[in-house]
Structure 1
């Protein structure tokens, strides 16, 4: 069980969301939340506090009678639970709930302690609110998506429970759970923040790191099986360029290839006297998709590390409005709910993931085109040329999926549309950015699955299983357990692509390339 103390790291997030560890709220955190609630209860008397005794947004000019305060919070939750479109998968919703729970645990929101207790129970019991992709503009936070979570907390709406979509009321009765206590501003505190975009964003960063590790693995294996010269991965070359990411990628590829007998030393072949040669039959340098991997994946790694840093800062921040400060006995109004930090980072993330899908697609094309690699049959066809097709069909899938990524990688950050009677006159679209990035990541797992199968096919054709590095051999064995050699009998490929996609997405062991990429 992991104790929540008001500060989450990426490792904590991974353990709770991916490993489904139960959580316990630290007693000091509960005390902090209670103190915040008690302070706001007293401080708000005879004062105008936004969202306590006023309307919301442009309706804040209207004072709310004391007798209507509780109804105000219920009205807010119910009216804003208006999402549409595809359902957000349960894992991502759980991540959003954890992000919201952590924010409220900081004691800057003035919520009743029942909010913390019920959210903890829902997370531990894997009771997941039904929420939708469409609705958030990411300015006053994820109002619509978070309203669907709040709807469940007041005992309404729908949840996923043991694989079924069921009314919240039914599940609460089965689990003996009680709705939260609405007293002050619980409705506003629950829906006014960046927790959905942040929760989705953190899962996106974790999955992107998996993609990067597999991309290093595939890039290393291709350099190996085509017997590339290894100096483009050398310490000397890559240290001459002062980017940490590039140096780390090159180091990881050297680590992957350290026991390979296939990569070659330039000094053994080209530095020992070739004065009489006019045209070299073999390439003096590899194509960019093989030779420039550290320069391409280096900025991917550097960007990913920074995105992760910003999102962890966001998840540990007070991101609603107003902000309660018990120590200074004051309530501050502002805009911490604005999602620009997350929106911008999600746009950066989807750019680098799209670039990875482009690199994978080009490496795939290199393997499939005999005029480029000069060592493999067309489409790595292990059967009869003309009669069988090898990997020809799946290349179409990889190409079209990569093209979709290129289109989706256009930024959301600059797509602000004023709304809310122009109260929200510039918005972040952070939730859209996070969801689109999620789609780009899913697409890239598909492209990488196709590339991985093709690499294994190439190893099969070249019969170099005993010459490849131990890490490439591990990949070869793992994929061969899922996909048989595609040779003289063509078969539908989609089940194999999906099997490999799920395998690399859910791979739990140390990734073949290196586990130092952070």
Structure 2
């Protein structure tokens, strides 16, 4: 069984995968059972055609070639190759499914998958093709094509024939023994692998959004009660309370956040207050906006990790029960629905970032900063005006991409696949929304740092936000004169994707429980 943390360490920490010997033995026992059990029996995908062609019996002398025909014919993807990190995660997901010992594959399949992962060899898997019903057939066919030594792989940043790379690394391509072709291509591992990366990156985005939301509350000298334990605890949602708690930790020891009783809970004589009694929603309602996103990611992680540790092909070969069970574990609705939810949640996060950015750039709203955070000559210089367009258009793209794939089933395969998940599409669109959102947050970071310099308040920031200021200023110096900013945005985006804010734990007030 794999956890998200273990997947994270393999994907981003360079940790190698090892195979539990007991589990490998179970894979071998499962294969040997199927090899014997399938003799003189009609079993889908072993001695029958596939999908609506399953009514056709395949002669014994053609069964091995059948598996190769399946792999080659379905290696029909289009578009770009998946990013290497997504392909690596896909392979981890496929390996995890096989290691459950219910797929009837020869153990050489799991050994080669392990070796490709550990050697950073990435089969060329194309983005377009999977409908997520009989699994990610097309994407996984390209994986299978490489596993049999015929496809192309990305190795050391070059696309090369798999056979050439295997020879160089001393690896051996797999052979078909019974049903390796169908077993490899018939599952949810592409959408699950992409989904794992999406969860990891979305959780990072949530932390950054909390951090930047804390920082904007600082630079506008907001009141602290909207983040207080007392206000949030009466709303019975875990995510909201977690977000508020994180932000209290991030703002600990800030000299800019104000305590309302010190300013407003006293006798005042003004008829019209220059001070805002309450901040705009994009500042004041951060726990209520990011809280549901937190809860969505927690739930999605459970579903995606559950799928990672599931058997997702068909039929299921159960040597313990002594039987082969036909069904639909390849169907990707679990992942498709969760990816749509994550995609919508992350889009909302990007919308919050855009509104906070707009507040900082619009002097008529904030009454504190120059228009467009322009530190130069007004009218002559442009400050952050240009990059705001990029943030706005990118959020608009996110909003369009957030239409759910889960409800967009199109029957195909001679109507054999009459209701499909489109899970791989959902996962890839979510990946795009996440990448877009890192770009939006990059613009927000740039603007916040300019705001700090305009106020010259570096020494009044909380230690947590001060470190963000220092770290990003090392790669993005303060600017006054106009210059192209696209390279700065790219550098900051890379910084946000590489790093994760370290949360400061807070000591909360504990209230006694009383039954009324």
1:56 corresponds to which of 44, 47, 50: 50
Write out per-residue CA displacement over residues 370-428 of structure 1, whole angstroms, 9 at most, x where no aligned residue: 11111100111111111111100000000000000000000000000000000000000
**Residue of structure 1 equivalent to 2:40:** 46
**Residue of structure 2 equivalent to 1:357:** 350
**Residue of structure 2 equivalent to 1:494:** 486
What does residue range 80-99 of structure 1 map to in structure 2 within 5 Å? Answer: 80-99=74-93
Q: 1:140 aligned to 2:140?
A: no
**Residue of structure 2 equivalent to 1:506:** 498
- Give the deviation of 1:286 after TM superposition: 0.0
Question: Could you tell me how far apart the structure 2 residues matched to 1:47 and 1:426 are?
Answer: 29
2:387 corresponds to which of 381, 394, 405: 394
**Residue of structure 2 equivalent to 1:440:** 433
- Give the deviation of 1:184 after TM superposition: 0.4
Q: 1:407 aligned to 2:395?
A: no
- Give the deviation of 1:514 after TM superposition: 6.6
- Give the deviation of 1:515 after TM superposition: 11
- Give the deviation of 1:486 after TM superposition: 1.6
Gaps of 5+ in 1: 1-6
1:181 corresponds to which of 175, 180, 187: 175
| Equivalent residues of 1:394, 1:493 under 8 A apart | yes
Write out per-residue CA displacement over residues 459-494 of structure 1, whole angstroms, 9 at most, x where no aligned residue: 00001001010011000001100111121x211000
| Equivalent residues of 1:213, 1:514 under 8 A apart | no
Write out per-residue CA displacement over residues 48-86 of structure 1, whole angstroms, 9 at most, x where no aligned residue: 111111110000000111100100000000000000012
- Give the deviation of 1:169 after TM superposition: 1.5
**For the structure 1 residues 21 and 93, does the alpha-carbon distance in structure 2 shift closer, same or farther, using more than 3 Å as the test?**
same
**Residue of structure 2 equivalent to 1:429:** 422
Question: Could you tell me how far apart the structure 1 residues matched to 2:380 and 2:317 are?
Answer: 72
- Give the deviation of 1:181 after TM superposition: 2.1
Question: Could you tell me how far apart the structure 1 residues matched to 2:383 and 2:475 are?
Answer: 17
| Equivalent residues of 1:213, 1:513 under 8 A apart | no
**Residue of structure 1 equivalent to 2:190:** 196
| Equivalent residues of 1:483, 1:496 under 8 A apart | yes
Question: Could you tell me how far apart the structure 2 residues matched to 1:328 and 1:158 are?
Answer: 39
**For the structure 1 residues 514 and 296, does the alpha-carbon distance in structure 2 shift closer, same or farther, using more than 3 Å as the test?**
farther
Gaps of 5+ in 2: 508-516
**Residue of structure 2 equivalent to 1:332:** 325
**Residue of structure 2 equivalent to 1:453:** 446
| Equivalent residues of 1:216, 1:513 under 8 A apart | no
| Equivalent residues of 2:214, 2:247 under 8 A apart | yes
| Equivalent residues of 2:248, 2:506 under 8 A apart | no
Question: Could you tell me how far apart the structure 2 residues matched to 1:237 and 1:176 are?
Answer: 62
**Residue of structure 2 equivalent to 1:283:** 276
| Equivalent residues of 1:401, 1:447 under 8 A apart | yes
Question: Could you tell me how far apart the structure 1 residues matched to 2:426 and 2:200 are?
Answer: 16
What does residue range 5-154 of structure 1 map to in structure 2 within 5 Å? Answer: 7-154=1-148
Q: 1:382 aligned to 2:375?
A: yes
**For the structure 1 residues 315 and 507, does the alpha-carbon distance in structure 2 shift closer, same or farther, using more than 3 Å as the test?**
same
How many residue pairs get matched?
Answer: 507
Question: Could you tell me how far apart the structure 2 residues matched to 1:170 and 1:388 are?
Answer: 56
| Equivalent residues of 2:27, 2:100 under 8 A apart | yes
- Give the deviation of 1:279 after TM superposition: 1.0
Question: Could you tell me how far apart the structure 2 residues matched to 1:90 and 1:513 are?
Answer: 33
- Give the deviation of 1:513 after TM superposition: 6.3
Write out per-residue CA displacement over residues 14-72 of structure 1, whole angstroms, 9 at most, x where no aligned residue: 01111121111111011000100000011111111111111100000001111001000
**What is the SS of the residue equivalent to 2:459?**
coil
**Residue of structure 2 equivalent to 1:4:** none
Question: Could you tell me how far apart the structure 2 residues matched to 1:160 and 1:327 are?
Answer: 39
**What is the SS of the residue equivalent to 1:85?**
strand
Please give the root-mean-square deviation of Cα atoms over the aligned residues, in Å.
Answer: 1.1
1:242 corresponds to which of 211, 236, 239: 236
| Equivalent residues of 2:376, 2:383 under 8 A apart | yes
| Equivalent residues of 1:417, 1:425 under 8 A apart | yes
1:466 corresponds to which of 459, 467, 473: 459
| Runs ≥4 residues deviating over 6 A | 513-516
| Equivalent residues of 1:141, 1:193 under 8 A apart | yes
Question: Could you tell me how far apart the structure 2 residues matched to 1:150 and 1:20 are?
Answer: 24
**What is the SS of the residue equivalent to 1:166?**
strand
| Equivalent residues of 2:245, 2:506 under 8 A apart | no
- Give the deviation of 1:512 after TM superposition: 5.3
Question: Could you tell me how far apart the structure 2 residues matched to 1:512 and 1:503 are?
Answer: 17
